[in-house]
Structure 1
Amino acid sequence: MRKLVLSALLVTASLFGFSANAADFQAGKEYVELKNPVPVAEPDKIEVVELFWYGCPHCYQFEPVINPWIKQLPDDVDFKRIPAMFGGVWNTHGQMFLALESMGVEQKVHDAVFNAYHRDGNKLDTPEKMAELLEGQGVDKQAFLKAYNSFGVKSRAEQAKKLAMAYQITGVPVMIVNGKYRFDIGSAGGPERALEVADFLIEKERAAR
């Protein structure tokens, strides 16, 4: 009986501890509230965006933390990745991501692309180098090159650039909740803490509906 009471107290303390931490999240501290909210793709859902770059070491280190979190998101949350495109190889990599996404294979090769850059030293700075890597992952080389150079992918790349400007981002990885709130690993206090901020803002948006 004593163990049950102690267990209940520990659970209660844990819950209160989480609530206290969540209650400490403040606009201007852990996150920024955008002055001009950006319209979301699906208004009936709560949108969560991660802006990233394949060449970013912090994005690479964030992957094993954010991926399990993505898998357990509820149905009313719409998660999406958007490549940050600040010129040069950022644009090249962003166009690769969008081409793979248009082909429906991005999730299949996402880790392989990250590993090629950070673990194997393959900078993937030309479409040909990308196609060679992707061919080894079961992606048709010519189909990828066609998608990479397509008008549709180039149009989506321009849209991604405009979104990054609207979100007023200056670095990655950065997360946006429902087009209203922006935060990054640094402002949140670490990778795990960033996801707590995301959960807090998701619940904030859910409660406001």
Structure 2
Amino acid sequence: MKRHLVLLASLLLAVVSVSAIARAEDQSFKEGQDFITVKPVVKVPGVKQPYVIEYLWLGCPHCQAMNPIIEHYEHEHPKVKFVRRPAIGKDRWVFDAHVFYALQETGNGELIYKIMEFYHNLAGSERRLPDKEDLKPFLTQHHIDADKFYKAMDSDATLENLSAAYQDQEALGIKGVPTFLVGGQYIMTLASITQAKDPQARFEALMNYLVEKTQHN
């Protein structure tokens, strides 16, 4: 996947393999500084393995810039399941949440990184976000029936998922994305990642720490 980190260079200058400096970096963590605890625990039905709920927006440059870090972690830690939910906000975010769930409902949830890259590229080249017509080339490229996709955008299942995601978001007080909720119990502090010497190493260390923490609760 093509990497587009230039928009957040100031935040993610070290999104590279672990350096000697990063290995020497203090990887201890403090509640209130690196993560916060939420109650009650947010469950994911049917998921028994360690899991992370990620709240995102398809058009969010911060989310897009974090994707290589997350994808690397997923590859290295296949036993940790990432469950993604769209953040619900202004009208534009609602439209993109419909796109997100249509991708899921048509069995194409694995294309999450690719559709976010599509959003990123369009914003970079035309300084705008896609509408329904703009989505057609992406759907065609990935052999997705456009009519079925558009119907899925407004299906009952999509509306139910939107409602559930919004209720959890409101209960957790989520105001920005990306937000990572580990085991439904701990929200990672994004600044702990982006301000590190090596964000990728910091993300992995903090994620592993919180995943292990959930296993002992």
Give the TM-score normalised by the residue count of structure 1: 0.80
Q: Does residue 80 of structure 1 match 2:83? A: yes
Partner of 1:116: 118
Note the aligned Cα RMSD (angstroms): 2.3
Count of matched residue pairs: 189
Q: Counterpart amino acid of 2:147?
A: Q
Which ranges of structure 2 fall in alignment gaps of 5 or more residues?
1-19
Cα deviation code 1:5-61 (max 9, x no counterpart): xxxxxxxxx9xx78x944x20110100111432233246322211111111111111
Instruction: Provide the rounded CA distance (Å) in 1 between the counterparts of 2:181 and 2:85.
Output: 11
Highest CA radius of gyration, 1 or 2? 1
Identify the residue that residue 99 of structure 1 maps to in structure 2. 102
- Displacement of 1:125 in angstroms is 4.6
Give the TM-score taking structure 2 as reference length: 0.77
Tell me the equivalent position of 2:140. 135
Q: Secondary structure at the match of 1:119?
A: helix
Deviates more, 1:178-187 or 1:34-43: 34-43
Amino acid at match of 1:57: P
Q: Which moved more, 1:38-47 or 1:135-144?
A: 38-47
1:146/1:168 Cα in 2 relative to 1: closer, same or farther (>3 Å)? same
Q: Which range moves more in the overlay, 126-135 or 84-93? A: 126-135
Q: Tell me which residue corresponds to 2:168.
A: 163
Equivalent position of 1:89 in the other structure: 92
Question: Does the Cα contact within 8 Å between 1:92 and 1:125 map onto a contact in 2?
Answer: no
- Which of 30, 33, 41 lines up with 2:34 in the alignment? 30
User: Are the counterparts in 2 of residues 132 and 141 from structure 1 also a CA contact under 8 Å?
Assistant: no
> Percent of aligned positions with the same letter in both sequences?
27
Whether contact under 8 Å (1:33, 1:180) holds in the other structure is yes
Residue 172 (structure 1) aligned to one of 177, 193, 196: 177
Q: Between the two structures, name the one with larger relative contact order (CA 8 Å, sep ≥ 6).
A: 2
Q: CA deviation at 1:185?
A: 2.4
Aligned to 2:209: 200
Whichever structure has more helix as a proportion of its residues is 1
Tell me, which stretches of 5 or more residues in structure 1 are unaligned? 1-13
Of 54, 62, 68, which residue of structure 2 is paired with 1:58?
62
